[in-house]
Amino acid sequence: MRAIRFALALAIVLAATAPGADFNLVYLGPESSAALQGLRLGIEESNVQGEFLGVRLTLAASSGAPISGDAIAVFADQRGQIADLAGSAGGRAVFNLSDDSDSLRAACLANALHVIPSARMKADAVSQWKAREPNASVTAAAWHGGAVKFAARDLNKRYKERFGPEMDSLAWAGWFAARAVGDTLMREPGSDAVALLRLLKEADGLDGQKGDPHSFRASGQLRQPLVLIGPDGELLGEAPVRGAPGGLDSLGASPCE
């Protein structure tokens, strides 16, 4: 009981002494996208944490350009347009939530952060699985609504209770991007857009509720585990497959390193 009272008192002190900071974020893409729903959940969860630190995130949704001038970061579900968005974002982080193009990663865009796995990453995950199960019919993805390990069960439950459908890869990408930004700004509330991008690119312990710490490669691609899914949508396992040399770097190329 004493420990609980101390924790509450400490939270009150932190809330009273922490400088207030409001950050505007912008989402570009369809209103119906699961990526936007994931973003909203991630921002809601970040703002619960931010109540004790005087930090608040606000998200504006738009179907297209121009990008709001006061947004500290941009989240995009716009396949085929990420390079143009990155070029017009003025050095701000542009989170790619849906485009799996390998050529986009090979462009080595300085401010593009690719949360969704690349086509090459997914192909490598499938190849690893088929090396062990040659006749398997399998696909790879960033997320599965039936995942339970590494607190995935709780995340899936929160998303389903909030929105109805199961969390999929797009929804996870939005949620992760929001949480990565939120966690970074909670630690460094004095950051501007340039500092936020640098901190995200330097981070090596981002949490995606998938076990291994996530981080961004020089290409902007998020280094992360993937799930393997059977022909009926069932969760079969994870990649990197046990024993695959290289760990997370066995999934996808690193063209900019």
**Is 256 part of a structural domain of the chain?**
no
65 confidence band (pLDDT: 50, 70, 90): low
Residue 26 DSSP symbol: E
Least trusted range by pLDDT, from 9-23, 159-173, 175-189, 225-239: 9-23
Cα–Cα distance for residue pair 116/224, rounded to 1 Å:
10
What per-residue confidence (pLDDT) applies to 257?
80
- Domain containing 151 equals 2-250
pLDDT score, position 208: 97
| From 15-19, 48-52, 143-147, the region with the lowest mean pLDDT | 15-19
Number of domains in the chain: 1
Region 48-74: what's the mean pLDDT? 87
Determine, yes or no, domain membership for 17.
Answer: yes
Q: What percent of the chain has pLDDT over 90?
A: 85
* Contact yes or no for 201/216 (Cβ under 8 A): yes
Whole-number pLDDT of residue 19: 53
Least confident of 7-11, 202-206, 221-225, 230-234: 7-11
Instruction: Report pLDDT for 4.
Output: 39
Averaged pLDDT, 139-155 = 97
Does residue 222 lie within any of the structural domains?
yes
215, 203 contact by CB (below 8 A): yes
Mean pLDDT of the chain: 91
- On the question of pLDDT at 129 being above 90, the answer is yes
**Inside any domain, residue 107:** yes
> What is the per-residue pLDDT for 64?
65
In a domain, 175, yes or no: yes
User: How many residues make up the chain in this entry?
Assistant: 257
Residue 66 in this model has a pLDDT that exceeds 80:
no
The mean pLDDT value for 28-34 works out to 95
**pLDDT, position 10:** 40
The mean pLDDT of 118-138, rounded to a whole number, is 96
Give the position of tokens 């992360």. Answer: 224
CATH number at residue 51: 3.40.50.2300
Those residues whose C-beta lies under 8 Å from the C-beta of residue 60, and which sit 6 or more positions away, are 24, 25, 26, 27, 68, 71
Decide if 179 is inside a domain.
Answer: yes
Residue position matching structure tokens 């009926």? 232
* Highest mean pLDDT, choosing among 22-26, 60-64, 253-257: 22-26
Inside any domain, residue 13: yes
- 237 alpha carbon, distance to own chain's centre: 20
**72 and 97 in contact (C-beta within 8 Å)?**
no
What HEC string does 207-222 produce?
CCCCCCCEEECCCCEE
For residues 158-181, give the mean pLDDT: 98
Asked if the structure places residue 257 within a domain, the reply is no
